[in-house]
Amino acid sequence: MAEFHFVEDYERHIAQLIANYPLDEAMSLAVGGGYEELGSIEADILRYAGLKDGLSLIDLGCGSGRLASVLGQTMMIQYTGIDIVQALLDYAKSKSPPNYRFLLHRALSIPAADNTCEFVASFSVFTHLLQAETYIYLQDIKRALKPGGKLVLSFLEIQCDSHWDSFESTVEAQREQGRAVLNMFIERSVMETWSNRLGYVMEVYIPGTEAPWDGKPLWQSVAILRKP
């Protein structure tokens, strides 16, 4: 499958952050800030979805390891982190247990054999992809999941009032710069359609303002899809 069209842009962005900030701050900014807090919320969501000790997780778009660092302190799982920028993977590895695997992977696919993984997480990844790219990912993730395996993902919705500021900011950046960072908004109805078309079961939909787990909401909406 083809590589991402924006690899060079992301590599340039991360290099600029590293050049202008202390490393820890740069690596937090690289994933949108809130490194420890958001990592803890993501871990809470995965536990709510059923992730337990001994299970396997592929963290798609693991970034600088905010989720990996929390899971490494609180759970005993088989973890694989995937990202498109080596500097992020290097930092994530430094924040994680030695048995955690980190892979540079720039194709619209999951580097795993068929029916081998119990969980895939994708937090704030599909928010920056074209819808066709997200659909390709969803298709390949289903291939890699074991029967009964789950995909836990986050996304932005224009219909969600708390996400409207992000849409307005994207519009303003486009107006001023002519080349805004891609922020893709995917409505719940679209996610449900994709889930049905691909043969997932959409177990749970959670608006960005809610937190049925014991903790804070993520802010982005969350969907938990299960492979039958």
Give the rounded percent of residues in the chain with a pLDDT score beyond 70.
Answer: 96
Going from N- to C-terminal start, the domains of the chain cover 7-226
What is the per-residue pLDDT for 216? 95
pLDDT tens-digit profile of 102-121?
A: 999 999 999 999 999 999 99
What is the per-residue pLDDT for 174? 78
Buried b (16+ CB within 10 A) or exposed e, 28-58: bbbbeeebeebbbbbbbbbbbbbbeeebbbb
Instruction: Categorize the per-residue pLDDT at 181 as very low, low, confident or very high, splitting at 50, 70 and 90.
Output: low
Helix and strand element counts for the chain (H, E): 8, 7
What is the per-residue pLDDT for 108? 92
pLDDT tens-digit profile of 206-223?
A: 999 999 999 999 999 999
Q: How far apart are CA 129 and CA 183, in angstroms?
A: 8
Q: Which CATH superfamily is domain 7-226 in?
A: Vaccinia Virus protein VP39 (3.40.50.150)
pLDDT tens-digit profile of 131-177?
A: 999 999 999 999 999 999 999 999 999 888 888 888 888 888 778 76
